[in-house]
Structure 1
């Protein structure tokens, strides 16, 4: 394990002879041009159900990428008490972060994740406070945004900070008398609330289903990134100095990526979203402002939540020692963004963390079985229905296309009740249907490859062909539910628009014939797919 003395931390008094730039050489006036994100002050009654409250503010707040919520309920048990008494023996390892802007040379992969020391909460606080006083001469000073970006732009050699990032655990108290700890805003419980899509996951995923701690010091930072699967995130500030957050609305994500590609990586890198996913790209928001990418900020203090919305790039830094806690979450209006992330992951050949298709199918079935009296006209319900109908309709196109490609092959169709499978070629998650090689049970393919220009995907590495089609045994139920949803006027209109963007040459007879032949195989007979094309 790497260790180093606090003398190596930021703000050493040693002179840097290689960098004689001063604050006057930097134009930091752009800092004042960044508007603040919306701030919400819910009443105790409004605060009762976090996911329902977030659904009510999302149409407005999501336009800013981030928002801040001031909790009307305060914790009774401080974070330091929880981490020292309720979590006995709590220790965490830090990452060492260089306090400078990364070189714009794409070959410069500066070590954002160099391992630091292992600390107890009290030990880290003591170290962080000493560094703070050495820099500002007083613990009462309040560092500004200008101070942070000056230090980053000067980039003095050897200066670094430490950050306890992705630390497993929670600082929400289990004391039954703690008002915040027993509320639904306790991040340990958020993923399991009734309206949470992640309640359908059958396993624990740290950071996604269970919260993680973020214990920072002066100028600890989180680089520009978007959440895994374009999920929501919620961050609670337990204690300590403020954090500054920057957020970019989802509608400008592509423009953000173009600005990073051309003005941070100088146009020399492809797959910029994959680079950003490494969470090592830190640069001033002025780069975005100069390229017409809107940026909003939040100053988060103890007792406040910051929400990041799906596909909203964000970054930030700490103004001193602090302790925060964060977790991802998803509600119905996330599914269109989750679908985009699924497509992006497949193109980049990145393994998914959560099974998008399975979650969507399960939510759709639950929504279909919901009593009309209980179904509210929420945007989340519309998003679930539309995403599900699109999924089924595109699957029908894939099956039609498959019948054309395999028309001269002896191909089998099997019924399955298996959980999600990952495509061996692009890692896309498959729940409703997939292809397999009859000789290699571990080799499976998603049906999206039927649209590839070449047909080499049919050939399994073992030398045989992937011509065994697996469909869920309750596939007809999913199709029927999709058709029920599609009868709603808004869904029907959206689907027609969606299909205009995707050429679909199959006639109804083609697809019906294919399904009927598929059903015959479900009774154990081999299917010979034929076509007049």
Structure 2
């Protein structure tokens, strides 16, 4: 990891905070009606936060399941410095892409997943580049946590990385943890005024059908014993798309990421 935090050049776009809504117990009972009610206020922002009543405390099943101990999930490589400066795919030279990939592999040790054949690997690579991302390594949750911790410590100068990749304390200066505002400022600096190539593993968009959902499901044996109010709630993302009145309720198949939520 050769890039480093530059707090003197932090960029934080000036923007309004997203609106926050606090429905009453009665309002919270009808999901789509409440969303329709607040839509004129929330729509100009493109996003909002809805805080449930204090009595609505669903369990987070992902914290209770053992699947994260051994299961591996796939990642993508997100090129942060190109999020706002990406060239059209047709204009990108293969030599430039290959040069970046080779430099990345030599500095960060990023590796691609092994395919069953050369043609499969070629097709996968072309599909990845078509949609603007590359496949990354597979991780267990514990390994991904360790990787994220290592990256943060090295990038923000909390510790020094040795040649063998191990992180060690340094007595040269007192290190401090950057604040959330400073991390956000560094992110926008990389996006808007990049001075280095910064690539990270993107570990989201995971199938809840494989890894499980944070919400209980009415039809799942894993969620027995939890109150029906959470398994059947309209705010449960497993139920939300198919609520009466939703246009998605007319779709018969389970479309991943649309009708089946992602982690």
Q: Which runs of 5+ in 2 are unaligned?
A: 98-128, 159-174, 218-222
Q: d(CA) in 1 for partners of 2:49 and 2:149? A: 27
Q: Is the 8 A contact 1:80 1:121 kept in 2?
A: no
The C-alpha deviation readout for 1:237-260, integer Å capped at 9, x for no partner, is xxxxxxxxxxxxxxxxxxxxxxxx
Aligned partners of 2:152 and 2:261: how far apart in 1?
28
2:216 to 155, 173, 183: 173
Distance 1:142 1:98, change over 3 A: same
Relative to its length, the structure with more helix (as a share) is 2
Q: CA RMSD in A?
A: 3.2
Of 126, 129, 133, 1:113 maps to 133
Name the structure with the higher strand share: 1
Q: State the alpha-carbon separation in 2 of the partners of residues 177 and 139 from structure 1.
A: 42
Kindly state the Cα deviation for residue 151 of structure 1 after the two structures are TM-superposed: 3.0
**Equivalent-residue separation in structure 1 for 2:26 and 2:74 (angstroms):** 39
**Aligned residue in 2 for 1:190:** 240
Distance across 1 between alignment mates of 2:135 and 2:179: 28
TM-score, normalising length from structure 2? 0.60
Task: Determine the C-alpha separation between the residues in 1 that align with 2:257 and 2:246.
Answer: 15
Match of 1:130 in 2: 150
1:76 aligns with 2:59: yes
Equivalence for 1:244: none
Q: Distance in 2 between matches of 1:23 and 1:139?
A: 13
Aligned to 1:123, the other structure's residue is in SS state: helix
Q: Which runs of 4+ in 1 moved over 6 A?
A: none
| 2:262 aligned with 1:209 | no
In structure 2, what is the equivalent of residue 146 of structure 1?
185
Checking the alignment, whether the CA contact within 8 Å between 1:99 and 1:151 is kept in structure 2 is yes
Q: CA deviation at 1:162?
A: 0.9
Cα offset, 1:146, TM superposition: 0.9
In structure 2, the residue matched to 1:510 is none
1:166 is paired with a residue whose SS is coil
Classify 1:89/1:47 alpha carbon distance in 2 versus 1 (closer, same or farther; 3 Å): farther
Alpha-carbon distance between aligned partners in 1 of 2:136 and 2:248, rounded to the nearest angstrom: 33
Report how many residues are paired. Answer: 191
The answer to whether structure 1 residue 99 and structure 2 residue 80 are counterparts is yes
Q: What is residue 53 of structure 1 aligned with on the other side?
A: 34
Gaps of 5+ in 1: 1-11, 214-533
Q: What SS does the corresponding residue of 1:167 show, helix, strand or coil?
A: coil
Equivalent residue runs for 1:9-28 within 5 Å: 12=1, 14=2, 24=8, 28=11
Q: Which structure's relative contact order is higher, taking Cα pairs within 8 Å and 6+ residues apart? A: 2
In structure 1, what is the equivalent of residue 249 of structure 2?
Answer: 199
Q: For 1:139 and 1:208, how far apart are their aligned partners in 2?
A: 41
Is 1:99–1:156's contact at 8 Å kept on the other side of the alignment? no
Give the 5 Å matches for 1:234-245.
Answer: none
| 2:76–2:136 Cα contact (<8 Å) kept | yes
> Residue 89 of structure 1: CA displacement?
5.8
Q: CA deviation at 1:47?
A: 1.6
